Amino acid sequence: MAAFRRMLLYVACVVVMLSKMAAAAASLAKPNCQNWCGNVEIPYPFGTTENCYLNDNYFINCSNSQPLWGNHVVTNISIQGELEILMFIAIQCYQNSSAVPVVDHSFYLPYPTVTISNTKNKLVGIGCDTYASLSAYQNNEPYFLACSSTCQSLMNVVNGSCNFHGCCQIEIPTGLKNFTLEAGSNYNHTNVSKFNPCSSAFVAKKDEFKFSSDYLGKMPAPDINDTFPMVLDWVIGTYETCETARSKPDYVCGQNTSSCDNPPEGVDGYRCKCKEGYEGNPYLHDGCQDINECLQVPKPCHAKAKCTNTGGSFSCTCRKDYKGDGKMNGTGCSPKVSHFKNIIIALIAISIGLSALFVVGSSVYCGLKRKRLFKLKEKFFEQNGGFLLQQKLSNDRTSMEVAKIFSAEELEKATNNYDESRVLGQGSFGTVYRGILPDNNQVAIKKSKLCDQSQIEQFINEVIVLTQINHRNVVKLLGCCLETEVPLLVYECITNGTLSAHIHDKVLSSSLSWRKRLKIAADTAGALAYLHFSTSMPIIHRDVKPANILLDNNYTAKVSDFGTSRLVPLDQTQLTTLVKGTLGYLDPEYFHSSQLTEKSDVYSFGVVVAELLTGKKALSFDRPESDRSLAVIFSSAVKEDRLHQILEDHIVSDGNINEINKVAKLVMQCLCVRGEDRPNMKEVAMELEGLRSMDQKHQLGKVDLYTKEAECLVTPPAQYSFSINGVNNDDSSTSATMGYESMRNQDLKPLILNSGR
Ligand SMILES: *[C@@H]1O[C@H](CO)[C@@H](O)[C@H](O)[C@H]1NC(C)=O
Ligand SMILES: *[C@@H]1O[C@H](CO)[C@@H](O)[C@H](O)[C@H]1NC(C)=O
Ligand SMILES: *[C@@H]1O[C@H](CO)[C@@H](O)[C@H](O)[C@H]1NC(C)=O
Ligand SMILES: *[C@@H]1O[C@H](CO)[C@@H](O)[C@H](O)[C@H]1NC(C)=O
Ligand SMILES: *[C@@H]1O[C@H](CO)[C@@H](O)[C@H](O)[C@H]1NC(C)=O
Ligand SMILES: *[C@@H]1O[C@H](CO)[C@@H](O)[C@H](O)[C@H]1NC(C)=O
Ligand SMILES: *[C@@H]1O[C@H](CO)[C@@H](O)[C@H](O)[C@H]1NC(C)=O
Ligand SMILES: *[C@@H]1O[C@H](CO)[C@@H](O)[C@H](O)[C@H]1NC(C)=O
Ligand SMILES: *[C@@H]1O[C@H](CO)[C@@H](O)[C@H](O)[C@H]1NC(C)=O
Ligand SMILES: *[C@@H]1O[C@H](CO)[C@@H](O)[C@H](O)[C@H]1NC(C)=O
């Protein structure tokens, strides 16, 4: 739990760090300086007040809430080195063929730290007797650029076409700075002034200007300055390069997370940029902050990978059960095993986790919202489910020996890589292998069948049920392994096989004496009574049959296979469930009503004891239809007083016929059609224990349950003598399990898993 909390704290701190970073990234201005002017963000080296800008070249006059750079309105400043301003239009106008222009504006931009962006602008001239000129300096040498346009009348100008008829345009070379923009006329607009009095020249952002003949007729008011947006490239330093600037004291890209960047070819000066993986303002001390790639969209790591942010980079680590480099661009993560584990862990986490969540929830104090926490916790549960399960198993069940979480390798080694020779048994649930642990202890390892949802549920069910139980006649769960494609359960190894094998094998059954049989019946009854009455929540086994009763070398019975078991909350005496069980042992009342009670186990137990007495299978399709069910055979034999005909021959002797009759009567009571007529498991267990001790001490017991002679209907109703095709009951390991959905499924909330759908 401590580690878990530590992780949460760590996450909380990361979140705090991130929000700090976000705040830092939000401001590109110098600390305590105005970040915005109007709707233009002002990044350092630009600034609006003293000490906020690098030098006068980067001063932005914001006194009217409109950013002015010199006398140009600024519309955008990018940290990458672009400055967008509204540049005036140079204009020259003649009237009445006068010799002198009536309007003549030219513009001059002397700033040494900006050049005209050659990629984003063009030089445009408009007029019918016009040239547009740009006098500038390139590499400290004068540079002149001009285009001219003429037209005889408005007839030969084309809207949208700037082709030297009324309009001219020309690309701008790199590196022009300190420029003068002028509009001029070759013939003082003689002959054209009637329809075109003015020449105009401007540098315009490409695509911002579309020529129209309307421009030609315009005679602007003398005091109106028209503007066009233009883009300037700004740099630091004049006639410097990174190489020359680095050694100088005024070099600004000082921090190790920012680096010097030479601007495009032909532009002098230098720029700063954040190193890869960092963002922010490289001109500020500590301005470049690490980018948390892990928070980016789209995510850089595969959904099954853990993303770790590092300075300037990130790494992806596939989760435990996945392989690959984890990168979205790379190999991603592919499952080493199925999603099985996550599903199991999530489900177990839900069932055991609520209290853990509560504890953790109350101990987190970093001010995080509960909702976010919940999500985080879910994630951690998923990631560290094994750890949590281990804690649950070791902490919560103090009465139980500590169940262990085994590694896949351990169990592989123990079973000699699931060698065929190690198979102990096989059933609908999966396969049981014999394993030998490094300490030479034998274990039984149950490997469920491949990812079928119902198997997962049974598996979880079994883990949960078994962790509640500690009884000498219940097979002990030693641990489990969640690392493999299918979950593995590790049990104590019961070496002597199933009761079913002992009853139905000729050789084995001959050595199964009456005393042994009585002991097995009493053991089993004791285990069931324990399940019904002594656990914190009653457990109904639901599939009591000889195949699920294991014997050790002393013929001590161990009840196993809790795959279909149910925990019954104390305030509920019956549960409505999907009918599950094995034909022949299935309680007819439960079969018809779907009402699951402990008495269903009593019925099944009755059939088991009948099987012990007679050696006959509970259900055999080899027998005539009327005799298929052992319960029917047994009860009619007892009623017709011919029990001796069906008893296993070798168990009867003069000394025990009395006992056998008593047990047979007890069986009859267990087989009562109405559950309430049946004794409960505690009574049955006491009865059998009584008989056993009597058997040992040759004295009469006092418990006389069967003498009550409670009358009840024993023969199951005819409908129960179902005929199902294809049920193969010969193979004792395949149980003919059947189920149907109850039509009366009440809205009971079962404590654990619903075995139905
Ligand atoms: C800023 O511009 C305003 C006019 O918009 C002008 O009056 C003021 O002197 C300028 N301030 C500076 C520091 O140049
Ligand atoms: C400023 O320029 C940047 C990059 O050139 C652009 O992404 C942004 O939209 C511009 N902002 C405005 C207000 O024009
Ligand atoms: C131009 O000529 C018009 C008449 O055609 C006259 O009204 C106007 O005053 C003249 N303007 C100038 C500046 O000579
Ligand atoms: C050009 O378009 C304007 C409207 O934008 C229109 O008034 C003018 O007559 C057009 N000129 C030509 C030559 O098509
Ligand atoms: C800008 O150009 C003018 C001439 O047009 C020149 O006198 C001045 O020194 C130049 N300034 C810079 C900084 O180059
Ligand atoms: C244009 O006007 C100038 C005086 O501003 C004059 O010297 C020149 O000869 C004129 N050119 C023409 C073609 O009229
Ligand atoms: C103006 O028109 C006159 C007469 O049509 C012509 O002689 C003269 O060359 C023209 N001037 C220009 C500059 O086209
Ligand atoms: C137009 O530009 C000129 C030259 O820069 C300037 O003197 C004048 O004040 C400007 N007029 C307006 C209305 O902006
Ligand atoms: C930058 O320098 C600081 C100390 O000067 C150091 O702690 C940090 O690790 C450096 N970062 C990088 C990315 O080199
Ligand atoms: C990774 O993929 C993204 C698009 O998802 C792409 O922009 C990026 O260049 C790729 N990087 C590498 C190293 O392939």
Tell me: the pLDDT tens digits for 603-645? 999 999 999 999 988 888 888 888 888 988 998 999 898 988 8
Tell me: the pLDDT tens digits for 590-613? 888 888 888 999 999 999 999 999
How much is the pLDDT for 621?
A: 82
How much is the pLDDT for 712?
A: 75
The protein residue with its alpha carbon nearest to ligand 7, atom 9, reads 191
pLDDT band at 4 (very low <50, low <70, confident <90, very high): very low
Mean per-residue pLDDT of the chain: 77
Q: Which residue has the higher pLDDT, 746 or 157?
A: 157
The protein residue with its alpha carbon nearest to ligand 8, atom 10, reads 225
> What is the residue whose two structure tokens read 């600390």?
31
How much is the pLDDT for 5?
A: 45
Mutational pocket test of ligand 2: of 46, 76, 82, 84, the residue with most ligand atoms within 8 Å of the beta carbon = 76
Tell me: the pLDDT tens digits for 110-125? 888 899 999 999 999 9
Q: Which atom of ligand 9 is found nearest the CA of 275? A: 13
Query: Which domains, ranges and CATH numbers included, belong to the chain?
Result: 23-78 (no CATH), 84-234 (no CATH), 293-335 (2.10.25), 386-492 (3.30.200.20), 499-698 (1.10.510.10)
Write 243-252 long-range contacts (CB < 8 A, 24+): 245/270, 252/45, 252/54, 252/283
Half-sphere CA count of 188, side-chain side, radius 13 A: 9
pLDDT, average across residues 449-460: 59
Tell me: the pLDDT tens digits for 509-552? 888 899 899 999 999 999 999 988 887 778 888 889 998 898 98
Query: Which helix H or strand E contains 490, and what residues bound it?
Result: strand 488-492
Residues with Cβ within 6 A of ligand 5?
Answer: 110, 112, 137, 178, 180
For the ranges 166-180, 289-303, 423-437, the lowest mean pLDDT is seen at 423-437
How much is the pLDDT for 695?
A: 61
pLDDT band at 225 (very low <50, low <70, confident <90, very high): low
Which alpha helices (DSSP H) does 364-452 contain, by range?
Answer: 370-383, 385-391, 408-414
The protein residue with its alpha carbon nearest to ligand 1, atom 1, reads 61
How much is the pLDDT for 25?
A: 45
Q: Which atom of ligand 1 is found nearest the CA of 62? A: 1
Q: Which residue has the higher pLDDT, 336 or 64?
A: 64
Q: Which atom of ligand 7 is found nearest the CA of 186? A: 13
Tell me: the pLDDT tens digits for 175-210? 898 999 999 999 888 888 888 888 999 999 988 888
The catalytic residue positions are 543
Q: Is 424 helix (H, G, I), strand (E, B) or coil?
A: strand
Q: Which ligand is nearest to the CA of 222?
A: 8
The one-letter code for the residue type at 580 is K
Query: Which helix H or strand E contains 518, and what residues bound it?
Result: helix 514-533
b/e sequence 58-78, b meaning 16+ C-beta within 10 Å: bbbebeeeebbbeebbbbebe
User: What is the rounded CA–CA span in Å between residue 314 and residue 303?
Assistant: 15
How much is the pLDDT for 130?
A: 92
Q: How far is the CA of 153 from the centre of ligand 4 (A)?
A: 13
Give percent above pLDDT 70 in the chain: 73
306 among the known binding-site residues? no
How much is the pLDDT for 372?
A: 58
Q: What is the DSSP string of 8-63?
A: HHHHHHHHHHHHHHHHHHH--SPTTS--EETTEE--TT-BSSTTSSSSGGGB-B-T
